[in-house]
Amino acid sequence: MLKQNISALITIFGATGDLSYRKLFPSIYNLFQKGYFGKSIAIIGTGLDELTTEEFRQQVKLSIKNQIEKPRDIDEFLYHLFYQQQNVNQQESYEQLLQLSQDLDEEFNLEGNRLFYLAMSPNFFGTVTNNLKDSGLTNVQGFSRVIVEKPFGDDLKSAEKLNNQIRKSFKEEEIFRIDHYLGKEMIQNIERLRFGNTIFEPLWNNKYISNIQITSSETLGIEDRGTYYESSGALKDMVQNHLLQMVSLLAMEVPSSRKSNDIRKEKVRVLKSLKSLKKEEIKQNFVRGQYDEGVINNETVLAYKDEPNVDSKSITETFVAGKIEIDNSRWSGVPFYIRTGKRMYKKAIQIVIEFKKNPMNIYYDTPEENESNLLVINVQPNEGFSLCVNGKKSNQNDEMQVVKLPYIMPTKDKMNTVDAYENLIYDVLIGDQTNFSHWEELMYSWKFIDKIKSVWNEEPPAFPNYKSGSYGPNESEKLLDRDGLNWWNNL
- 325 alpha carbon, distance to own chain's centre: 21
Give the bridge partners for 404, in sequence order.
388
- 334 alpha carbon, distance to own chain's centre: 24
pLDDT (tens place) for every residue of the chain, 491 residues total? 555 678 999 999 999 999 999 999 999 999 999 888 878 999 999 999 999 999 999 999 999 999 888 888 899 999 999 999 999 999 899 999 999 999 999 999 999 999 999 999 888 999 999 999 999 999 999 999 999 988 899 999 999 999 999 999 999 999 999 999 999 989 999 998 999 999 899 999 999 999 999 999 999 999 888 999 999 999 999 999 999 999 999 999 999 998 999 999 999 999 999 999 999 999 999 999 999 999 999 999 999 999 999 999 999 999 999 999 999 999 999 999 999 999 999 999 999 999 998 766 655 665 556 688 899 999 988 889 999 887 767 665 667 677 788 888 765 444 444 578 999 999 999 999 999 999 999 999 999 999 999 999 999 999 999 999 999 999 999 999 999 999 999 87
Give the bridge partners for 377, in sequence order.
351, 385
Whether a cis peptide bond, with omega within 30° of 0, leads into 26 is no
From CA 394, how far away is CA 47, in angstroms rounded? 65
Give the bridge partners for 274, in sequence order.
326
> Of 80, 180, 242, 438, which residue is the catalytic one?
242
From CA 239, how far away is CA 250, in angstroms rounded? 15
| 3-class secondary structure, 446 | helix
Give the bridge partners for 467, in sequence order.
292
Let me know if 313 is exposed, middle or buried by CB neighbors in 10 A (0-12, 13-18, 19+): exposed
From CA 331, how far away is CA 270, in angstroms rounded? 10
| 3-class secondary structure, 452 | helix
| 242: annotated active-site residue | yes
Instruction: Quote the pLDDT of residue 366.
Output: 58
Which sign, positive or negative, has the C-alpha torsion 116, 121, 125, 128?
A: negative
User: Could you give the residue ranges of the DSSP H alpha helices within 68-209?
Assistant: 74-78, 91-108, 125-134, 156-167, 185-195
Percent helix, percent strand, percent coil in the chain, to nearest 5: 40, 20, 40
Counting Cα atoms < 13 Å in the Cβ hemisphere of 353 gives 23
Beta carbons within 8 Å of 246's beta carbon, 6+ residues apart: 181, 187, 190, 214, 351
CB 353 within 8 A of CB 230: no
From CA 170, how far away is CA 73, in angstroms rounded? 35
Q: How far is CA 272 from CA 18, 269, 338, in A?
A: 35, 5, 18
Q: Residue 411: how many CB atoms within 10 A of its CB?
A: 8
**Nearest alpha-carbon partner for 76 in 143, 120, 29:** 29
**Three-point CA angle 426, 247, 402, nearest 5°:** 105
From CA 326, how far away is CA 252, in angstroms rounded? 10
CB 28 within 8 A of CB 45: no
DSSP 65-103: HHHSSS---HHHHHTTEEEEE--TT-HHHHHHHHHHHHH
Which sign, positive or negative, has the C-alpha torsion 429, 432, 435, 437?
A: positive
Whether a cis peptide bond, with omega within 30° of 0, leads into 122 is no
Q: Residue 284: how many CB atoms within 10 A of its CB?
A: 14
Instruction: Quote the pLDDT of residue 413.
Output: 47
Beta carbons within 8 Å of 244's beta carbon, 6+ residues apart: 271, 445, 448
With 0.75 as the threshold, say if the pTM is over it: yes
- 23 alpha carbon, distance to own chain's centre: 14
Instruction: Quote the pLDDT of residue 382.
Output: 86
Instruction: Quote the pLDDT of residue 394.
Output: 65
